[in-house]
Amino acid sequence: IDFEGHSLSLNTGDTDFRNPTTPAIVNLISAVKALKAKYGSGFVLTMAPETFFVQLGYQYYGSGPWGGQDPRA
């Protein structure tokens, strides 16, 4: 599964990370919840975004014409 770069990003206008509407994000959350339900409380799944995308993208989150993403990143 590719979680890097633009493979997993918020669609334009999807600015509420607590209630996302981007299908890839919604489906990922559902899949992680299903794995947690199947394997129990001892199940651990970790993910960490690349520092570049966090630093560059954070300043543009929720503002401007791109909403939840910076097209330069």
Domain membership flag for residue 13:
yes
Closest to 54 measured CA to CA, from 17, 27, 1, 13: 17
67 is a domain residue: no
Residues forming the active site: 4
Number of domains in the chain: 1
Is residue 70 in a domain?
A: no
The pLDDT, as a whole number, for residue 10 is: 80
Give the Cα separation of 40 and 34 in Å (integer).
10
pTM: 0.61
pLDDT digits (tens, 9 = 90+) for 15-63: 888 899 999 899 999 999 999 999 998 998 887 767 776 666 666 666 6
Q: Is the pLDDT of residue 70 over 60?
A: no
**Which residue range is the domain that position 33 belongs to?**
5-58
- At residue 11, the pLDDT reads 84
**Per-residue model confidence (pLDDT) at position 5:** 61
